[in-house]
Amino acid sequence: MNLTGEKLCEKFASCVNSRPLKRAARYRVGVDLGTANVVVAVVDEDGEPVAGKLKKAQVVRDGLVVDFVGARDILTKMIQELCDELGEELVDAACAVPPGTGMADSKATMYVVEASGLEVRNIVDEPSAAAKVLGITNGAVVDIGGGTTGISVLREGKVVYTADEPTGGTHFTLVLAGHFNLPFDEAENIKLDEKNQKRLFPILKPTMEKVTDITKRHIQGFDVGTIYLVGGASALYGLKDVMSNVLGIEVVVPQYPLYVTPLGIALSCP
Ligand SMILES: Nc1ncnc2c1ncn2[C@@H]1O[C@H](COP(=O)(O)OP(=O)(O)OP(=O)(O)O)[C@@H](O)[C@H]1O
Ligand SMILES: [Mg+2]
């Protein structure tokens, strides 16, 4: 990952669910509707992060909107809060869908964003948005989100292969819930506390190996020099090493993997 991308993510992380960093002449909004989180990124005319919001939500499954009203209400509230904090109307936006999403499902995502008061200027695919921030044109982007792992192979800036498999952060939590006999939410909190992650590694390793196997299967036949992990679950302690050891390929995890795609979506807004 290039330094510019890392710095942008760091800057964005510093303002998510906090105060806006500055006023700008123009604002561009990126909306990432995920299985686990809805993330809104706001950047200025030069692509500098200005403000952001993250909210846990269950309005999307496998990248597709399953609760239109819920999604609209959550997003409308997030956008309203951002407008209040910035003292400005937000209008121009981009949103993203998993690669290969059909027209009807892309429109559902667009309608949610427009129902929140924004105007959709661009719809991008998620790995291309991530690649923009990572500063890459070749390699594999593996997005380990809440519900799924999305594998995309990029060649000369184009997504040439894509797949989505139903194993993600939720499955790591389910494994912990089963192991410790705890409700899902408690297991999720234990997982997210970075102090615990080293101790949890042996319990979570088989699921990491599963994600690695999935990745291996899908990148076979492509000349992948580097794998870039994005999505919240790729921050898990040990996952990067399991993957690089098994696959024998360089694996890069940015410092803020949760924010790469949302930021890339905002940067894709003209
Ligand atoms: N620091 C962390 N360590 C481990 N897991 C994390 C961390 N932060 C977030 N996660 C996990 O990442 C997942 C959410 O990631 P993300 O926001 O990228 O998913 P999403 O975009 O909502 O889902 P999807 O891409 O599957 O639609 C959750 O399962 C959460 O538990
Ligand atoms: Mg996602």
Which of helix, strand or coil describes residue 19? coil
Q: What is the model's pLDDT at position 101?
A: 85
Q: What is the model's pLDDT at position 1?
A: 64
Q: Residue 259 above 90 pLDDT?
A: yes
Q: Residue 9 above 70 pLDDT?
A: yes
- Ligand lying nearest the CA atom of residue 230: 1
Q: What is the model's pLDDT at position 98?
A: 86
Tell me the pLDDT tens digit for each residue of 68-77.
Answer: 999 999 999 9
Best substitution site from 35, 40, 97, 199 to test ligand 1's pocket, by max atoms within 8 Å of Cβ?
35
Tell me the pLDDT tens digit for each residue of 40-94.
Answer: 999 999 999 999 999 999 999 877 899 999 999 999 999 999 999 999 999 999 9
Residue with the nearest Cα to atom 5 of ligand 1? 233
Ligand 1 pocket, residue 268 CB under 6 Å: no
Residue with the nearest Cα to atom 31 of ligand 1? 169
Domain identity same for 41 and 119: yes
Q: What is the model's pLDDT at position 2?
A: 67
Domain identity same for 115 and 48: yes
What number is the average pLDDT over the span 4-17? Answer: 95
Question: Which atom of ligand 1 is found nearest the CA of 62?
Answer: 27
Best substitution site from 40, 59, 165, 258 to test ligand 1's pocket, by max atoms within 8 Å of Cβ?
258
User: Which residue type, as a one-letter code, is found at position 170?
Assistant: T
Question: Which atom of ligand 1 is found nearest the CA of 170?
Answer: 29
Q: Residue 172 above 80 pLDDT?
A: yes
CA distance 150 to 215: 9
- Top-confidence residue, 104 or 95: 95
**What is the tally of structural domains in the chain?**
2
Domain identity same for 153 and 57: no
CA distance 200 to 190: 9
Domain identity same for 42 and 142: no
Query: Which residue in 26, 21, 74 sits closest to 52, CA to CA?
Result: 21
Domain hosting residue 200, numbered range: 136-255
Which of helix, strand or coil describes residue 241? helix
CA distance 136 to 33: 23
Domain identity same for 155 and 88: no
Q: Residue 177 above 80 pLDDT?
A: yes
Confidence of residue 16 (pLDDT cuts 50, 70, 90): very high
Q: What is the model's pLDDT at position 21?
A: 95
| Cα 8 to the center of its chain, rounded Å | 15
For residues 62 and 42, the answer to whether their CB atoms sit within 8 Å is: no
Ligand 1 pocket, residue 147 CB under 6 Å: yes
Q: Please report, rounded to a whole number, the percentage of residues in the chain having pLDDT higher than 90.
A: 92
Domain identity same for 153 and 104: no
Q: Residue 226 above 70 pLDDT?
A: yes
Query: Which residue in 246, 266, 267, 264 sits closest to 126, CA to CA?
Result: 264
CATH of the domain at 107: 3.30.420.40
What number is the average pLDDT over the span 93-120? Answer: 93
Domain identity same for 102 and 21: yes
Domain identity same for 115 and 145: no
Query: Which residue in 49, 46, 55 sits closest to 76, CA to CA?
Result: 55
175: Cβ contacts below 8 Å, ≥ 6 apart: 203, 204, 206, 207
Domain identity same for 251 and 141: yes
Domain identity same for 142 and 249: yes
Domain identity same for 187 and 152: yes
Tell me the pLDDT tens digit for each residue of 117-152.
Answer: 999 999 999 999 999 999 999 999 999 999 889 999
Best substitution site from 31, 37, 162 to test ligand 1's pocket, by max atoms within 8 Å of Cβ?
37
Domain identity same for 96 and 48: yes
Question: Which atom of ligand 1 is found nearest the CA of 36?
Answer: 22
Ligand 1 pocket, residue 127 CB under 6 Å: no
Name the residue with tokens 């002449």.
Answer: 25
H helix or E strand, kind and range, residue 245 = helix 239-247
Which of helix, strand or coil describes residue 107? helix
Ligand 1 pocket, residue 236 CB under 6 Å: yes
